Structure 1
Amino acid sequence: MAEEPREEPQNPFKGTPLEGLFGQMGAGQFDLGQMMSQMQAMFEPHEGAVNYRLAADVARHAVAAQGEDPTPHGGQAGAVSDASRLAQMWLDKVTELPTGVTSATAWSRAEWVEHTMPTWQVMVEPVAQHVVASMEDAMPPEMKAMAGPLLGMLTQAGGAMFGQQVGSAIGALATEVLSSTEVGLPLGPEHTAAVLPHNLAAFADDLEASRSDVLLYVMLREEAHHRLYAHAPWLRGAVLGAIEDFARGIRIDVGSIEEQMRTIDPANPEAMQEALAGGLFEPTTTPEQERAKERLELLLALVEGWVDEVVARATVDVMPAAPALAEAMRRRRATGGPAEETFASLVGLELRPRRLRDAANLWSALRDRRGPEARDAVWSHPDLLPTTADLDDPLGFVEGQAERLDDADFDAALRDLLSSDEGDDSASGER
């Protein structure tokens, strides 16, 4: 009689930074050296609220676990450079904003992780800092006194847990992202347009589209993003500021945690695991966070809408595949693509691009009514940007812009007239 296969025990640490460590023990693959290495990483001193060195290592391992990650070869690098030059030529015809790109490059997934990690650090750090601060503030004084020096160790372990989460999310995103600007802001070095040929090829194959068409279309979007951020240097700070404001509103509801803990049987590990998976320690959303989220969603919608509009104008009559690719990109965003999932896991923001089409329609209407110069001039100052209400009434915004511009033209003409009269009077007095 054949012996029934032995059922493998469930790993109680699944989904946590300790999953790999204790999973080895349960699977009979225990390695003391690896265990000590992972424990050392958990309590490794680091600056800030997140262990970013651990995050980078986890991200690279996540990329490696997804299969091959070939370094772009010379032919791919040349194709990227050619696509960049053509994209710049086409964009020059539809916008007066100068190119913000000085170099175009092809990245592997691992290179994308390396080059974008500094920007992720800027975005994630405020959130992590405020979560840690909120948890410490929520701890009763007597508990802090009892914890004593253990608080420092817990902080280090918390930084490692954040690092694990950050690394896992960035590693997952690296397997799907197409360029350095897909999340709505340049993640890589300034003035560098970068695409990932390996991911682009997979995306093109899924669409049954030409790889050269997909490369050119993605490069057009990449170049357009860089032009906008170079023209409006305040924009990057505004996006990051909205994320920091969201983080500043984080509050830990200790009462809710205590209430839920009373209902959990400490002898039942599955009940505790279900509570953790259900967000037992997740911060509650505050009104401050909702306002910051709305501001961030509006900014990203306006950015993406402007890019959609400009690229559509640049490709009309010269790129037959552009409309289908534009619709594929909209579907990619509307279904909650990799960028949104990463924002949700790293920053706590679920960014549904609900208003991208509305924003694109607004920019298109403004260009039809006042020309591309007026469309692009709105980005010269944050106070000129459309509001959420303007997205509901794009034609009203366009008419308002026309009135403001007409008033400005009138005022300028009046100043010229007055200065001319003063000059005539001065000349008369001299005679």
Structure 2
Amino acid sequence: MRARKIRSPDSVDVMKPEDFEEFIRKFLPENINADDLAAAAGLPKDPESLRLLIEQMQSAMRVMPNSDSGVNWDLALSQATQIARQANLPVPDGVRREIEAALQIGSLWLGEATSLSQVHHDPKLLSRDLWVADAIGLFKVLAGPVADRMSSALAENLQQNAPEELAQLLGAASGLLKSAGATIFAMQLGQALAKLSTEVLAGGDTGLPILDRPAFIPQNLMAFVAESELPADQVYIYLIIRELAITSLFRQSRWLRDQVTNQITRYAAGISIDSGAINELAEDLDLENPEELKRALESGAFIAERTDEQKEALEAIETALAMIEGWVEAVTTVATARLPKQSAIAEAVRRRRAVGGPAEHTFAALVGLELRPRKLREATAFWLTITEKLGASKRDSVFEHPDLLPTAQELENVEDFIARLGSNGDSMDDELRKLLGESN
């Protein structure tokens, strides 16, 4: 069955806004086809999971008018936790002991490679569903601004393109429609988070730590070791040093997270909807083939081409992520020089980050942002050069103030950055004291 076009204004029956809202409320919760819903959202089809999901949607629909968010986070969390919990497997005690032993070595080696204060907290070992619970706060920050703007843009698009006779009706129901979109988005995001829980190895894998302390997912570490066919003890040491490094960086430079998220908000402000893409989908969509709708949602086809301002904001985000990840990889390279298999482990981690998994691609399509930094090799080489020419202490002090950070152009030409900061003398220290003095 093909999607039918809206009838001409002359044939539209008169319906009061409150009647329309009541119709939506009754139709969506009670007449959802479970198999079609599962197929469209990419969910498992087992009856118990679907029953719980339908109940969650019914509950979400009852409270929709009170929500102004672009995502129903309670639904996203509930769904992601449920799916992730089904994928949990027990972790042998021997693996936990190996991780704890690697932590002791990793802490010692990292202390030799960076001037940053070490994080003096025991690592948190997470199951996949517990990772979801801890990560949801970060994803509210990452996806919230984009999702809110997408939801508003869709509502604006409906109102601008609706027949005049329907404008008042849609205006009265826009809050309900926006909340319905929030529920659908939550389903998709919940699925993406559940998939991510099977891919991430540690709390800082997305480039922004989910906690103020190191966190690891032992089940996923085991899978990575098995896939890479590299010595488990060396892999654990390498990955633990990476996690300790990024956690220490964000604990010292607490403004760093705000800077990245502010850039995301700036990017989100420019999101608009491609009306032509929506109209084409309405013309061609086969409602008996839910995969068509699923592919459309996951492709980001409804988002219009980026503006010049968005391109600038996106470049700033990519530069920030590359700067962070490059620093982490450079410090890890220095700290793990004793590992016989260091190069092979580093390449396996780099390749994994460069390619990304299915969940990362789904998330990127949903919110229009890549979790993976571009130009990671260049950024790593940049920080290794800074280490060689300026030393670890001056390298790490760059993160003491945002004005000291390299620009996108300087990341491509390390000599420009060195010239700005000064490779000799106390020019960098003088600049830092001046900046900190101005901020007081």
Question: Normalization by structure 1: what TM-score?
Answer: 0.80
Structure 2: distance between partners of 1:32 and 1:397: 55
Residues 376, 114 of structure 1: CA spacing in aligned structure 2 closer, same or farther, 3 A cutoff?
Answer: same
**Identity across the alignment (%):** 33
Structure 2: distance between partners of 1:104 and 1:80: 9
Q: Secondary structure at the match of 2:374?
A: coil
Structure 2 contact 207–321 (Cα < 8 Å) conserved: yes
Structure 1 contact 81–105 (Cα < 8 Å) conserved: no
Give 1:336's aligned amino acid. G
1:390-429 correspondence to structure 2 within 5 Å: 390-402=410-422, 406-407=426-427
Aligned to 1:424: none
1:92 partnered with 2:118: no
Structure 2: distance between partners of 1:373 and 1:324: 28
Question: Normalization by structure 2: what TM-score?
Answer: 0.78
Structure 1 contact 200–211 (Cα < 8 Å) conserved: no
1:174 partnered with 2:197: yes
Tell me the alpha carbon deviations over residues 367-405 of structure 1, each in whole angstroms, 9 at most, x when there is no partner: 111211111111111111112211221233223322685
Using the TM superposition, give the Cα deviation of residue 156 of structure 1 relative to its aligned residue in structure 2, in angstroms.
2.5
1:356 partnered with 2:380: no
Tell me the alpha carbon deviations over residues 86-131 of structure 1, each in whole angstroms, 9 at most, x when there is no partner: 2121111111110134231211111111111111112211111111
Q: Where does structure 1 lack aligned partners over 5 or more consecutive residues?
A: 1-10, 413-431
Q: Secondary structure at the match of 2:123?
A: strand
Using the TM superposition, give the Cα deviation of residue 320 of structure 1 relative to its aligned residue in structure 2, in angstroms.
1.1
The higher radius of gyration belongs to 1
Residues 222, 351 of structure 1: CA spacing in aligned structure 2 closer, same or farther, 3 A cutoff?
Answer: closer
Deviates more, 1:89-98 or 1:73-82: 73-82
Which of 404, 415, 424 matches 1:384? 404
Residues 175, 404 of structure 1: CA spacing in aligned structure 2 closer, same or farther, 3 A cutoff?
Answer: same
Aligned to 1:426: none
Structure 1 contact 182–339 (Cα < 8 Å) conserved: no
Aligned to 2:138: 119
Structure 2 contact 270–307 (Cα < 8 Å) conserved: yes
Residues 30, 93 of structure 1: CA spacing in aligned structure 2 closer, same or farther, 3 A cutoff?
Answer: closer
Structure 1 contact 183–339 (Cα < 8 Å) conserved: no
Aligned to 1:218: 239
Which of 363, 366, 370 matches 2:386? 366
Structure 1 contact 41–54 (Cα < 8 Å) conserved: no
Structure 2: distance between partners of 1:332 and 1:102: 28
CA-based RMSD of the aligned residues comes to 3.4
Which of 175, 181, 186 matches 1:152? 175
1:1-400 correspondence to structure 2 within 5 Å: 15-17=39-41, 37=55, 39-41=57-59, 43-45=61-63, 47=67, 48-65=69-86, 67-70=87-90, 72=91, 75-138=94-157, 139-140=159-160, 142=164, 143-147=166-170, 149-187=172-210, 189-190=211-212, 192-254=213-275, 256-257=276-277, 260=280, 264=283, 273=292, 276=296, 279-316=300-337, 318-337=338-357, 340-341=360-361, 343-351=363-371, 353-400=373-420
Structure 1: distance between partners of 2:274 and 2:203: 37
Structure 1 contact 109–196 (Cα < 8 Å) conserved: yes
Structure 2 contact 285–292 (Cα < 8 Å) conserved: no
Structure 1: distance between partners of 2:289 and 2:383: 52
Structure 1 contact 101–223 (Cα < 8 Å) conserved: no
Residues 51, 44 of structure 1: CA spacing in aligned structure 2 closer, same or farther, 3 A cutoff?
Answer: farther
Q: Secondary structure at the match of 2:406?
A: coil
Structure 1: distance between partners of 2:75 and 2:416: 50
Structure 2: distance between partners of 1:266 and 1:346: 19
Q: Secondary structure at the match of 1:16?
A: helix
Q: Where does structure 2 lack aligned partners over 5 or more consecutive residues?
A: 1-34, 433-440
Give 1:387's aligned amino acid. T
Give 2:63's aligned amino acid. P
Q: Secondary structure at the match of 2:124?
A: strand
Structure 1: distance between partners of 2:53 and 2:376: 47
Using the TM superposition, give the Cα deviation of residue 272 of structure 1 relative to its aligned residue in structure 2, in angstroms.
11
Structure 1 contact 69–110 (Cα < 8 Å) conserved: no
Tell me the alpha carbon deviations over residues 14-58 of structure 1, each in whole angstroms, 9 at most, x when there is no partner: 6534x769x79xxxx899976862550451426422111211122
